[in-house]
Structure 1
């Protein structure tokens, strides 16, 4: 509770500093530059042409004396408006009132929090060499001795390049040399832009981004992607990157494009994938899974 109160006080201090600091700096700038202008003015002889440079300097300093406080005033107003908006938001939250976007954000945070806690419990269960609860899946025909442990959703992507074709345009130009040169330059620029766009589209990158249904068993990851069930066997994996703090899992294969999954259910899938690819001890020893034990 003391930590929460401390965070609340520090938040209020930062909120007020947004308008108080520009206000103080604006006042100081005005005082400093007006004093500087007065000091210059006392040494300037308006009838002496040699003091024209000093006069211009004085005018510049006077201008800054009014310009800088004006800029500071803008920051003061913006900071005050933001501080007022945050104060009103905190008052609403204190009485349990949230707008639709805030409710959605809270629900998402709670969903991710529950998923994290469930994954931490799953890791502890597997680290203790215990079998987690199984689930029934009626959409996928199980293989012999296959057990299902997770049925969730995730964002899905594959990493590969592709062949892309593009057409080049040409033209026949005649007339003044400048007209011909301009026409050739425009044609070349258009062809270069199409070639660059084709090269970017053909480059190796993450593709097929979509939300998929993800089923995790003791033999494979199964994704309902592009309208069909795709199996990614643990035995075919050559590398596994379980980035649970980023809610993601990347798997590489001998004869298939790399797979990336992301979402609140993916850390649990990553834990089971580590178990089935590296063995029971890896669940407790893998450095990327260590945050689940904190």
Structure 2
């Protein structure tokens, strides 16, 4: 059985205790003997110390919302309000281990209030609305990934259907699918407006060093040259500009040439010193 805390010797005892309690009640029908047998090899007698550590944690953190939520979760397990492990782990994560605090909590509450108001406005107007935050998040991530890739309408439809199948409990209506597609399309449009296709190609290069150096070098060309201007750039200066050695610097320049962002106007002579100047022309 997969556990997060029980068999983790470095986990806090109060978390090992609450998971032990949840599994004992929800999996082994509160039978202490069965759970002890199940974890005999991995836990042994260590669990006998956990109730005392749990109570000590509650005493030391009597005003901590996370500690209060932890004990509320314990009571819900014992009275049967929590009925399965998925529900238990969700509550443990959202209310205890990853509980939002301070400004993060205020921001979350504000976002939820805005979303509720927006959803109600759409309902009042008879318009479709997608309220699944996970589905929306995965849709926008996919849009970021596919910006400047010339993805087809058919591929978009297949992608969105796949996301709905994976992250939504039920199929979306035709109107809701249109809303989801508009979310995807708006994000793609925004990403393509903020980054050129060539810049996206550079950043997606499989060699991360080449990607980083080429993106930096292209930025320098845009900073120093208008389209059509030239830059007399020796290999020594090129290396200094990028802060890398000759092979990596030349790989970056060659990628920009390959993408037709710059061109070699006048090549430095072979066999000369490293500082021999090459004249590059900015094309885009």
TM above 0.5, yes or no, is no
| Structure (1/2) with the larger helix percentage | 2
Q: State the TM-score, normalized to the length of structure 2.
A: 0.23
Q: State the TM-score, normalized to the length of structure 1.
A: 0.23
Work out which structure has the larger RCO, using CA pairs closer than 8 Å and 6 or more positions apart in sequence. 1
Work out which of the two has the higher radius of gyration on C-alpha atoms and give 1 or 2.
1
| Structure (1/2) with the larger strand percentage | 1
